[in-house]
Structure 1
Amino acid sequence: MPNTQRRRVRQCVQPLDSRSVLVDGKCYIDFSRNDYLSLTHDPRLRVPEAQLPTGSGSSAVVSGFRAEQAELEQALADFLGYPKVLVLSNGFMANLALQQTFVRRRQSVILDRLVHASIVDGARLAGAKIYRYAHKDIFMCERALQKANGPAWVITDGLFSMDGDIAPLQELSALCQHYSATLVVDDAHGIGVLGPQGKGSVFAAGLGFEEVPFIVGAFGKAFGGYGAFIASSVDNIEAIISSARTYIYTTALPPYCIGHALRAIKLMPTLESERAHLGHLINKTQTVLHSKSASVIQPWVLGSDDATWQAHHALKEAGIWAPVIRPPTVPENTSRIRFSLNVGHRFQDIEQLESIIESMGVTTCPQPA
């Protein structure tokens, strides 16, 4: 049993619209969801329940692969400019599938210290020799590459989910080319909100398939749905289909989820005004929180668990719903309130947040570099 102060407790939350939730009968302004473009509630993406089945019935390699999924995979490949895309059930399974297929036992896998847990677990399950460099520390990453036993893998988040900062992808790409390493970017939080037409952090850095041969993406964030995908070469995707246990031995993503994602990807290039609105919200929230993050993820780092819980309860009393993030999700002494912005938020919401925080008189810890 974990430390009682850090036990995970579920809370029933009923979304009312893109900016508000109902909890225990009270309405709150919601900063907890990763639905950055508010597509969960967009009427243009609603799929008539009678039109697509709610279940796929079997694995994709048996009879669960349908025309809708083939269309979605092609639409994603066209959108990103990658040769081929494979849709999987969720992001955790996608990261496990990728490393299980390609990483050999004792092969070097080099990870940013703050990558998502699924990336770490993927490397562990593959039996890799793992090197973890300090967050965004290019020099430490290079030292790990110099120590690597043969061709290495460098795996990073594109947009980091707890700090809201962006990986130094140009520098990582240059290192990988110099040391003949393979660069993988998990851009679950970046696709939809970063880069031209929302193509993500890889394209925001001016990179593409030649520099980043694998992108992992997710439908549960800016797409407002459920599922995940891997973009890579035709040969790499075929290898995953034939080898990855988390793809072969699980029920395929339901057609209803596929239909939502397909509508979202077709809409994605047209959402420039929504991304511009997010940019204005980000600028305002940065000022309020003294945040270094220039993204839709805005951390308010308070340090101790107690201080963070006190801030959470004060915000809740004032009508703000925002999650407490504690170790081990984040490093010790960096507990925080994590504010996720979406296009449904208004400037008045950020101004209300500013007024509440000023009245609390809480000292913000320096955000980790």
Structure 2
Amino acid sequence: MNPTERLAQLKEQGLYRRRRVIEGAQGIEVWVDGERLINFSSNDYLGLANHPAVVSALKNGAERYGVGSGSAHLICGHSSAHHALEEELADFTGRRRALLFSTGYMANIGVISALVGRSDKVLEDRLNHASLLDGGLLSRAQFQRYRHADSADLEDKLSGSSRRQLIVTDGVFSMDGDLAPLPAMAKLAEEHQATLMVDDAHGIGVLGDHGAGVLQHFGLSQQQVPVLMGTLGKGLGTFGAFVAGSEDLIELLIQQARSYVFTTAMPAAVAEATRASLKIVRTEPWRREKLQMLSQRFREGASQLGWRLLDSASAIQPILIGDSRQTIAASEALLRQGYWVGAIRPPTVPQGQARLRVTFSANHQQQHVDGLLTALAAIKL
């Protein structure tokens, strides 16, 4: 099928996507295509992407280090800012060491490929992020998917294998907002001598008593979960990713994770900005508390209106609609009322499970939530 025919098919199926142009910085209020909208689509959960202290740190970092890092980490791109941030991330997550990657996608592909190969086995949750699934497939290991958050199905697939096994899961599932059953998974990994890897992109900064993520939320140690991946562009409000774990894990990734070895390092100024955001996460727990309050207020109101919500205790609150065209219609109806809520459709989610993905920020106020609920009440599908 040529590109023109394929594009026409995507439009017919309600799966065509288009970019919207934002004028100015990320925030609760954004100007999009010339219109002012209240933003319920961002992953800037703690409201740090445009925080004055983070912006100032970026500017100061650029003054000191310039804009580009100039090279990969293993050549001449690894600055003192990068090194300091790695040490602070390791301390923050309770791991021995941490390693920066330029994106979360690259981190997941690089880590999985470095840990397993043709003679090994990868087991992944069916609803894992695309980067985890691609990492498993690209590793050339035997690849199996287990039913979503189903420890019994995972145990069945772990049993009887003589291969070295790597279990890979999201911590907070990005389109559903629910948490993986990590305590049960850690126990299974120990029983079957498998390694457990958790992608905590949507938990870092948001979950845990001190914001260290889903592993802190569940009280799981480095020994129980040897491989932790986290991103910097969501709860921490900047850009990039990291992997945290043992001394030997990080040294192995430095040697063999191709997406680390052969990629230019993130700008050192971004590392400095992230160090500033990490301090805010540590010292301002009210941001996490407010997220919980806003999410609960929304859930109560949306349920009373009859909308079908998924079981989520996170800042991600999906409204399941099912049909892609109806989901687009609902999103556009909200846009006309001044609210930006993303329409999530296949292949991002399974067929028949299109949904509105409502996300909250600590910068939202109660009136924003109440306004969104009023707008949802006016929609007729």
Q: TM-score, normalised by structure 1?
A: 0.95
Unaligned runs of 5+ in 1: 363-369
Aligned partners of 2:51, 2:88: CA distance in 1, in Å?
20
Q: Which has the larger displacement, 201-210 or 264-273?
A: 264-273
SS of equivalent residue, structure 1 residue 301: strand
Aligned partners of 1:140, 1:56: CA distance in 2, in Å?
45
- The answer to whether residue 336 in structure 2 is matched with residue 317 in structure 1 is yes
Alignment of 1:130-169 (within 5 A): 130-169=143-182
- Say if 1:50 and 1:174 are closer, same or farther in 2 by CA, change over 3 A: same
Aligned partners of 2:328, 2:161: CA distance in 1, in Å?
42
- Say if 1:178 and 1:15 are closer, same or farther in 2 by CA, change over 3 A: farther
Report if aligned partners of 2:126, 2:148 keep a CA contact under 8 Å in 1. yes
Alignment of 1:285-300 (within 5 A): 285-290=298-303, 291=309, 292-300=311-319
Provide Cα deviations, 1:259-279, integer angstroms capped at 9, x if missing partner: 111111222211211111111
Unaligned runs of 5+ in 2: 304-308
Report if aligned partners of 1:108, 1:149 keep a CA contact under 8 Å in 2. no
2:260 corresponds to which of 228, 235, 247: 247
- Partner residue of 2:77? 64
1:32 corresponds to which of 16, 41, 60: 41
Q: Which has the larger displacement, 13-22 or 349-358?
A: 13-22
Report if aligned partners of 1:52, 1:259 keep a CA contact under 8 Å in 2. no
SS of equivalent residue, structure 1 residue 160: coil
Report if aligned partners of 1:161, 1:189 keep a CA contact under 8 Å in 2. yes
C-alpha displacement of 1:154: 0.6
Provide Cα deviations, 1:219-277, integer angstroms capped at 9, x if missing partner: 01011000100001111111111111111111111111111111112222112111111
1:125 corresponds to which of 103, 122, 138: 138
Cα RMSD of the aligned pairs, angstroms, is: 1.3
Moved over 3 A (4+): none
C-alpha displacement of 1:16: 4.9
2:205 corresponds to which of 173, 192, 197: 192
1:273 corresponds to which of 278, 286, 293: 286
Give the letter aligned to residue 309 of structure 1: I
Question: How many aligned residue pairs are there?
Answer: 362
Give the letter aligned to residue 321 of structure 2: L
C-alpha displacement of 1:361: 3.9
C-alpha displacement of 1:354: 1.1
- The answer to whether residue 237 in structure 2 is matched with residue 228 in structure 1 is no
C-alpha displacement of 1:159: 0.6
- Partner residue of 1:367? none
C-alpha displacement of 1:90: 0.5
Report if aligned partners of 1:145, 1:179 keep a CA contact under 8 Å in 2. yes
Provide Cα deviations, 1:304-340, integer angstroms capped at 9, x if missing partner: 0111011011101100011111000000001111111
1:4 corresponds to which of 10, 13, 22: 10
Aligned partners of 2:31, 2:352: CA distance in 1, in Å?
31
C-alpha displacement of 1:17: 5.3
1:212 corresponds to which of 225, 232, 242: 225
Q: TM-score, normalised by structure 2?
A: 0.92
- The answer to whether residue 244 in structure 2 is matched with residue 238 in structure 1 is no
Give the letter aligned to residue 282 of structure 2: P
